[in-house]
Amino acid sequence: MRISRLYSIALSLLLPLTTFAAVHHVPPGPADAITRAIAAAAPGDIIQLQPGTYHGTVRVTRSGEPERPLIIAGIASGTTTKPVIDGGAEPGSKKRNQAFTFENVSWITLQDVEIRNAWTDAITINDSSYISILRCDILETGQHAISARGDRSHHILIEACKWTQDTRVYTTWDWAELHHGVFKHYNGGIYGGGAAAGGAVIRHNNAGYGFNGLRWWLGEATGAQARHQSNIEIYDNYFHHFRDNVIEPENFTWNLHVYHNRLDSCPRGVFSIDGVAGGEIYIYGNTGRWDQDGATEVRAWTVYKFADYNKKETLNYPLHIYHNSFAYGAAFARGSKVRKADDHLRHFNNAYTHQGDSHLGLIEWPGQDCQFDHDISSAPFQPDVSAAGYETHGIAATDPKFVDPARNDYRTAPDSAARDAGKIIDGFTLWHTGRAPDAGAYDGDQPVYGPPFLYREPPGGALYKERPRIVRIFARDTTLAVFFSTPLEPASLTPKTIQLKAGTTPLTVRSARFPLADQTQAVLLELDALPADATQLDITFATLPRGLNGEPGTMWAADTRVVRIPANATLTGLMARLF
């Protein structure tokens, strides 16, 4: 192992660093050498891997510090080839051949590595927090790509990674054997595991040819367990060719946001809310289509799958299903002998092209406190829909005219009946550009955005305190609406404490104000100018803002993309109050 020194420059999403960081160079060979380098490292240090293969398991037992993570880096300067961590195992259950294990650590970044032959889970995270997995290729391996457990496991970022299991999971093997038989070691997901606290951010990933996309489970949904796997964001991912379900929380989840994902060729239910207590769950702006593409299933069953009604837990708080666009089978399908449903559904402004003889569904729907309206369906509504008082403003037997689903273009044609067919949804709609919101995942040519993520304490009590982090930036002219994950102490963010750049262009912040006393997670920054081509900002803080909960802010997982509010938009709800 070779150690060199370099002066730490300011990272675009971190506070400027003023200390020296060591770079620990580890040549290919036994993975134990990486473990030893980590044990010798200090916060802010870089464990630099080289092109080649490392055999065995890397054990991460040393922590970084807030805003100074310990970094395990795959691609060195001047190279483009990711080093390979080979766990050395054949597929199977109850194996301990992980590529990486994180044990009782925090503030670690793992980036730009390839993982193979790591079973049963490729990466395990136990009682660890602020773990970032970036641009890693986890190929043909893992019941879970990342498995998290423990009350102290929270704030796990999975970003721009690729994960596959085996093409035969989708094309060849028997579903029952995969679900609970000889191939059950494939029954997992890119993120999953048991009773982790939550706080996960899963974005910009490409995951496919597996059994489930994401699956986490808890033994019970009451008492102490009613606080795990909470406050999770899943957005801007491409999920495809999954044999079972893509998004599958089990038993309990809390404050789950699933939006702007592409979900293709998943035959047995894209979303499985099967015996899940908790809420609220937001599913919006997602798109997808069914193509058999080698699957043993000839047709897709349903988009939303629920448990047999009154046989398992039901949601305690609403499930919001808004502005999704799908070209699949049924939206809500019955089982062959039972009624599958849930309570507290809010289903508005969605657009469906149903394949074959499928339709919206909702036949003998027994769920309580449910609302369905302003949706557009290519098939006629069944008699049960109108008999239940649903879809009084819905549009049936009408093609929503998606531009080109095969190329992932779910905008609707200018003459589509989906245009202006939606409703302003209380607590959700931020703006629209026509007479009313469009039905489907797009309003005009822009994806529909809902309220930014906001941390909510689960009913069983918090397992950690949320550090304020940037979750969304909206721009209107030269004003930025910057949203944090929890309310701020307004005095802690001023023009003197924040610096912005668009590329290499510094931006002058003239004022920072909090227009809503009851919504101090939102701050308006008035700029002298904002370049028209600015799509992302570099943000640094002289001092980090502080939350009303007393916690310092963080740039961990900050989403600094700029979302432009159209000039012709009619602002509603929270946006109308802010501006």
| pLDDT value of position 334 | 85
Look at the chain and report how many structural domains it folds into.
3
Residue 313 has a pLDDT of 86
Query: Burial level of 80, CB count in 10 A (0-12/13-18/19+)?
Result: exposed
Q: Residue 571's domain is classified under what CATH number?
A: 2.60.40.1220
Supply the pLDDT for residue 188: 95
Determine the pLDDT at residue 15: 40
109 touches 60 (CB < 8 A): no
Q: Select from 416, 434, 460 the last residue of a domain.
A: 460
**Same structural domain for residues 257 and 146?**
no
Q: Are residues 304 and 247 in the same domain?
A: yes
Residues of the chain with pLDDT under 50: 5-18
- Give the model's pLDDT for residue 77: 76
Tell which of 401, 431, 460 closes a domain.
Answer: 460
Establish if 208 belongs to a structural domain.
no
For residues 38 and 47, give the distance between their C-alpha atoms in angstroms, rounded to a whole number.
7
Write down the pTM of the prediction. 0.96
Residue 35 C-beta-side C-alpha neighbours within 13 Å: 17
CA distances from 302 to 244, 248, 289, 329 (A): 11, 14, 11, 5
Q: Do 70 and 38 form a contact (C-beta atoms < 8 A)?
A: yes
Structural domain range at position 489: 470-578
Scanning 23-171, the segments in alpha helix (DSSP H) are 32-39, 167-171
Residue 247 CB neighbour total at 10 angstroms: 27
Q: Are residues 289 and 236 in the same domain?
A: yes
Do 139 and 1 have their domain in common? yes
Closest CA to 445 of 474, 423, 416: 416
> 114-135 burial string, b = 16+ CB within 10 Å, else e?
bbbbbbbbbbbbbbbbbbbbbb
Centroid of chain to Cα 438: 24
- Is 93 inside a domain boundary? yes
d(CA 428, CA 544): 29
Residues 480 and 439 in one domain: no
Coil/strand/helix, residue 213: coil
Asked if residue 182 belongs to a domain, the reply is: yes
147 domain residue, yes or no: yes
CA angle in degrees (0–180, nearest 5) for 217-220-224: 110
- Residue 130 dihedral angles phi and psi, to the nearest 5°: 50, 55
* pLDDT, tens digit (0-9, with 9 covering 90-100), for 92-113: 999 999 999 999 999 999 999 9
What local confidence, expressed as pLDDT, does residue 10 receive? Answer: 36
Domain boundary, last residue among 430, 460, 490: 460
